[in-house]
Amino acid sequence: MTDRYSRQELFAPIGKEGQQQLQSKHVLIVGAGALGTGSAETLVRAGVGHLTIVDRDYVEWSNLQRQQLYGEDDAERRLPKAVAAEQRLRRINSSAAIDAIVADVTTSEIEALTEGVDLIIDATDNFDTRLLLNDIAHKRRIPWIYGACVGSYGVSCAIVPGETPCLNCLLETVPIGGATCDTSGIIAPAVQMVVALQMAEALKLLTGNKRALRGKLVSFDLWSNQYTAIGVDRLKKEDCASCGSQPTYPYLQASNHSRTAVLCGRDTVQIRPPAPVERDLETLAEQLSRQGGTVQGNPYLISYTIGAHRLAIFRDGRVLVHGTKDVAEAKSLYHRYLG
């Protein structure tokens, strides 16, 4: 095992000193989907000492095409992604400290999640969460790396508080959103390219090679063979509410974080309870079984199928209502079966 990281240490910008720095770092990955699994595996193989991976969802068959840590058994068991990722990552590197958290990342959780973190990796699928990450990163002066992909397109940018413009600044100037995997699908090479872009910047930051950062927002389309790198230094705004001279961090306020969300690429609505709860899944399974329908479960969630809909109920009170994109319909089903 003494030569485990030898090829990485031979790379002069990292060397033995950089390898030691990697082993002392704590990285938070928000999202354990395509970008999250790729990033997590890269960091664990690179020797990052402490990794926290947070995700609100569970493994489904449609994930297996591009989410590299998961297998068919995970999809059959509907295992929470964070749990399945942790199990695979521990087999890859048993010396890494890995925390798996099954939760939705909101204003209630973000302060605790970022305690003692050296770098945040964006592996989310929505700007609601990204802007939350952006604000906490600037409040705590933690660098973070934005990344997104859809179809054959991808985009990435490293954001360093106090030095670069933030995501809030970029959104006002650069068109970096629009299509979703629900409408355009996605191919695995686009995922892998964004992971490569994010992880290259991550290794630079974690080994003290900040001067090597691109300083640009990179976008590409693998199908049409396009690649663009936009200099972002001049986009920083002095009056930005997230990174300006008098920041108010608006996205850390609960009023700016929705309690329902239509999930990307899914005929699914997520509903979070108005206050934190701890559901007794065993008792709930018994109650639901008396209402008809089909109840299945594992230690982390219950799956309740009734008619054309399926409700996945987590211990933290969150519910994924499958079979609809209509928030009102999802809420109606939620209240009908869960009170």
Give yes or no for a contact between 138 and 271, defined as CB atoms under 8 angstroms apart: no
Q: How many Å apart are CA 59 and CA 254, to the nearest integer?
A: 28
Handedness of CA 177, 178, 184, 185 (dihedral sign): positive
Residue 279 tokens, joined: 């559901």
pLDDT value at residue 211: 96
Phi, psi of 153 (to 5 degrees): -105, 145
Domains of the chain in start order, with CATH, are 6-255 (3.40.50.720), 258-338 (3.30.310.10)
Q: How many Å apart are CA 117 and CA 99, to the nearest integer?
A: 12
Long-range contacts of 173-176 (CB under 8 A, 24+ apart): 173/235, 174/217, 174/230, 174/232, 174/235, 176/148, 176/217, 176/219
Three-state DSSP string of the chain: CCCCCHHHHCCCCCHHHHHHHHHCCEEEEECCCHHHHHHHHHHHHHCCCEEEEEECCECCHHHCCCCCCCCHHHHHHCCEHHHHHHHHHHHHCCCCEEEEEECCCCCCCHHHHCCCCCEEEECCCCHHHHHHHHHHHHHHCCCEEEEEEEECEEEEEEECCCCCCCHHHHHCCCCCCCCCHHHHCECHHHHHHHHHHHHHHHHHHHCCCHHHCCCEEEEEECCCCEEEEEECHHHCCCCCCCCCCCCCCHHHCHHHCCCEEECCCCCEEEECCCCCCCCCHHHHHHHHHCCCCEEEEECCEEEEEECCEEEEEECCCCEEEECCCCHHHHHHHHHHHHC
pLDDT value at residue 130: 92
* Residue 181 falls in the annotated catalytic set: yes
pLDDT value at residue 191: 97
Name the pTM for this structure.
0.85
- Please choose, from the candidates 27, 132, 34, the residue with its C-alpha nearest in 3D space to the C-alpha of residue 85: 34
How many residues in total does the chain contain?
339
Q: What is the mean pLDDT of each run of 10 residues along the chain (339 residues)?
A: 90 97 98 97 98 94 95 96 98 97 90 97 89 96 96 96 94 61 81 98 97 96 96 91 94 76 80 78 88 90 92 91 89 81
76 burial via Cβ count (<10 Å: 0-12, 13-18, 19+): exposed
Plot region of 258 (φ>0 → left; ψ -120 to 50 → alpha; else → beta)? beta
Q: Residue 55 contacts by C-beta under 8 Å, 6 or more apart in sequence? A: 30, 31, 32, 33, 36, 80, 81, 82, 85, 101, 102, 103
pLDDT value at residue 277: 76
Residue with tokens 């939705």: 104
Q: Which of 149, 157, 166, 181 is catalytic?
A: 181
Handedness of CA 327, 329, 332, 336 (dihedral sign): negative
Neighbour-count burial for 152-170, b at 16+ CB within 10 Å, e otherwise: bbbbbbbbbbeebbbbbbb
